[in-house]
Structure 1
Amino acid sequence: MDEKRIDYLAHQLLTRKISATEREELDEWYNTFASYELYIYSALKKQQFSDNLYQQITKKIDITPRRRVIYYRYVGIAASLLLVLSIIFYRVFTNKQHRQTFANKSLIEIKPGSDRAQLRLADGRTLDLEKAAEGVLPTGDQSVKKAGKGLITYSDSEKIADGSDYNILSTPKGGKFSIKLSDGTLAILDASSSLRYPSRFTGANRMVEVSGQVYFEVVHNAKQPFIVKAAGQTIRDLGTHFNINAYPQEKGVKTTLEEGAVSVQDGKHTVFLKPGQAAWSNNNTGNITVVEADLEEVLSWKNGYFRFNDERIGNIMLQLSNWYDIEVSYAANLPEDGFNGTISRSKNLTEVLAMLERTGIIHFKIEGRRITVLP
């Protein structure tokens, strides 16, 4: 949708002239637009932001086609306004501060992550998949192909008799990659992640092992269950889509079910998940806790954006460190404020840091790929 159309729909919304069809169009744009250039705020400033936004709505600001608007879900005033996704002049209110924040810094732009991975074969050879040409890969197996940017595929080749040749697909910091296994199951790897799998599944189970963060869309086969091992957790698929977060920094494994059903086992404990639930295995206690999950937040990395929901700065910087391949240090104690907002993972690092700085809670010192968090 072009900006003139967005401006028109925004004006119709604010003047209460929007039709049901136009409202549906605006809602669809809000849920799918690619920039995800929304406001990031701290819990401390949430009320202040809400008050400012309410004033802009009640004044019914005149919107001109030359101004870029950002559509924002308002969360702090009357219930009726909860149903109205509000419009704010993002450029007007934040660009000046953005320029002041980074005006005197000579920066080398740190680009976002991209489709990068290595494939380690059972015989010890390693392929750089970023540089590999599309088509059959030089693995000695004609069933293995690079099917496009960021994807390799396997077909169920009968030439592989026992399926004992395990390969490892791994992504570095700043990398992501997808693989379609020989049974048709799709696995999407986030940065600093790995998947160990056989070229062909044989035997009673389809067994794989993961580290980091991996999303699965499993092709169900009741006669040959799909099993994922992640640290101390074992996930058995009952026909499903699910996400596994097993980064070492998380001090546990979190499995979140999007659809279908899975059982999660950790030692002697087993739980069954329903869609929208997550199982958290604590490395220290060995217990499994089942909680309701925010699927939009959990799957945001797969869908191309960061989503922060009352997130502490330490956890945010862990995500940025993986995706932008940066080193992070802290000059003082971390603030306790929670940060909220959404931004595309295709943005350069400075754009993400600028949005965090606008909260007034934290600042950053940038030296090459080393980022220091300041109060």
Structure 2
Amino acid sequence: MTRKKQFLELVKKYQNGTLSAEERRLLDAWYNRYGEESKDELDEAGLAETESLLRGRLPLAPPAKIRRLWPRIAAAASILLILSAGAFLIIQKQAKPVIIAQHDIAPGHNRATLTLAGGKQIALTKKSNGTLAVQGATTIIAGGGAVTYTIVDKENMVSYNTLSTARGEASPFPLVLADGTKVWLNAQSKLTFPTVFNGKERIVELTGEAYFEVKHNAAQPFKVKTANQTVEDLGTAFNVSAYIDEKATLTTLVEGSVKVNNKVLKPGQQTDGEKITEVNTSQYLAWKNGDFDFENNDIRTIMRQLGRWYEMDVDYQGTISTDGFSSLISRQHNISSVLKLLERTGGVHFKITGRRVTVSQ
């Protein structure tokens, strides 16, 4: 079956109510990448890109009350499907959403700040290269797609450094700690760590969000401390979200095993420190891969994520919908494009003024 025929089959399944969760996410991804205009054309390469993007994602059971960020294809009278020799088209016959925008807001940047023990700050960007600093027997080198702490001699004195990102920033590449552990930072986050691990434990402290690929050493456990959790590595890749404006600190395990507040997680599980749940891990790693992945998130949760990346403030007017929104959206779009997708549901409206967005129903 050609990809064009496959997409037609998906549309038919949607109309018949037999579309699976994974198939629905495939349509979501297509529409959000190619359906922002009222008439859009998707060639075979575009279809292949979308299919590749979704391959390997875990399907979720569809929630009871959810707003999809593409038009309701079931309303067949408002959709015209056309197959031509070289393209698959969907023409949506409806009014486009109107976002009142005095200014637009560009997406955030891949940059971070490294603060050394003496207070010196080093700006990190994708262009950073070469030796950044020497602290005792530890050399900090940028290159090869990472910032690496390299121990050139035995070091007894421990000093502490901090990697931080502001709103509108995410680390341009992983930080490689002295033990070989790799760390990526999301927006508005801070990681404090020693330049060398000499004690019985390897301990770092986190606020905000980070993804860890830990170099396992059973004789010297690696621990991430947040305000509400202590995460202990048992040979692991995991994500920790510990923003102070969120209701809970969430640890999501991708590979291996971790212990969180004496609870052991398996891959595909998440804990808030109290209960353990099965989750789609790709949703919680989307930020690292340059995307927003919303799965039945309410608008306030979504706007907190957008606020961190777009460095914007958010106001609410009147009663705001508590419906869930689901979509996969690139973090490289201007904010108006993201808000336009949200407005297509008909359940929410936005006004952009400077770096402030007002949300209404």
TM-score by length of 2: 0.78
**Pair 1:248 & 2:247 matched:** no
SS in 1 for 2:179: coil
Give, in whole Å, the separation in 1 of the partners of 2:175 and 2:192: 11
- Residue 153 of structure 2 is aligned to residue 158 of structure 1: yes
Task: Quote the residue 1:181 is aligned against.
Answer: 177
Task: Confirm or deny that 1:259 pairs with 2:259.
Answer: no
- Name which of 128, 135, 144 aligns with 2:123: 128
For residue 101 of structure 1, what is the aligned residue in structure 2? 98
Paired residues of 2:71 and 2:344 also in contact (CA < 8 A) = no
User: Which residue, 342, 346, 353 being the options, matches 1:356?
Assistant: 342
Provide the aligned C-alpha RMSD in A: 3.2
Question: Matched residue of 2:289: which SS?
Answer: coil
Residues 111, 347 of structure 1: 8 Å contact kept: yes
Q: Does 1:51 align with 2:47?
A: no
Aligned twin of 1:74? none
1:215 aligned counterpart, secondary structure: strand
| Residues 7-26 of structure 1 mapped to structure 2, 5 A cutoff | 9-11=3-5, 14=8
Is 2:165 the partner of 1:171? yes
Of 113, 119, 128, 2:114 maps to 119
Shift of 1:337: 1.2
What per-residue deviation string (whole Å, max 9, x for no partner) do you get for residues 156-205 of structure 1?
3325323x211000000011113111111111100001111111111211
Secondary structure of 1:343's counterpart equals: strand
* CA displacement at 1:93 relative to structure 2: 2.2
Q: Please state how far the C-alpha of 1:319 moved relative to its aligned partner.
A: 0.3
Q: 1:306/1:131 Cα in 2 relative to 1: closer, same or farther (>3 Å)?
A: closer
Shift of residue 264 of structure 1? 0.8
* Ranges in structure 2 where 5+ consecutive residues have no aligned partner: 11-43, 55-63
Q: Pick from 206, 213, 218: which aligns with 2:202? A: 206
Q: Which residue of 1 aligns with 2:15?
A: none
CA distance in structure 1 between the partners assigned to 2:9 and 2:194 by the alignment: 59
- 8 Å contact from structure 2 (residues 141, 149) kept in 1: yes
**Paired positions, count:** 316
Contact 1:157 1:200 in 2 (8 A): no
Unaligned 5+ runs, structure 1: 1-7, 17-22, 34-41, 70-88, 282-287
Question: Offset at 1:209?
Answer: 0.7
Residue matched to 2:272: 280
Residue identity matched to 1:170:
S
Partner of 1:75: none
Answer with 333-342 or 353-362: which moved more. 333-342
Q: Would the aligned equivalents of 2:193 and 2:204 in 1 still touch at CA under 8 Å?
A: yes
SS of equivalent to 1:167 = strand
**In structure 2, what residue type is equivalent to 1:121?**
L
Instruction: Provide the rounded CA distance (Å) in 2 between the counterparts of 1:333 and 1:183.
Output: 50
Write out per-residue CA displacement over residues 334-359 of structure 1, whole angstroms, 9 at most, x where no aligned residue.
21211111111111111000000111
Deviation for aligned residue 1:13: 5.8
- Matched residue, 1:328: 314
Find the partner of 1:271 among 260, 263, 284.
263
> Deviation string for 1:207-253 (max 9, x for gaps)?
11111011101111111111110113111101010110100012331
- Matched with 2:32 is none
Query: Which of residues 49, 52, 56 is equivalent to 1:31?
Result: 52
d(CA) in 2 for partners of 1:26, 1:354:
22
The aligned residue for residue 4 of structure 1 is none
Offset of residue 49 of structure 1: 1.8
Identity of aligned residues (%): 38
Distance 2:279 2:101 in 1: 41
1:301 deviates by: 1.2
Q: Which amino acid aligns with 1:135?
A: G
Give a deviation string over 1:97-116, Cα, whole Å, max 9, x none: 44x514xx554331111212
Residues 184-199 of structure 1: pairs in structure 2 closer than 5 A: 184-199=180-195
Aligned letter for 2:329? I
Report how far residue 277 of structure 1 moved: 0.8
1:290-301 correspondence to structure 2 within 5 Å:
290-301=276-287
SS of aligned partner of 2:259: strand
With the length of structure 1 as denominator, give the TM-score of the two structures. 0.75
What is the CA–CA distance in structure 1 between the aligned matches of 2:338 and 2:210, rounded to whole Å? Answer: 23
Structure 1 distance, partners of 2:87, 2:294, is 30
SS at match of 1:136: strand
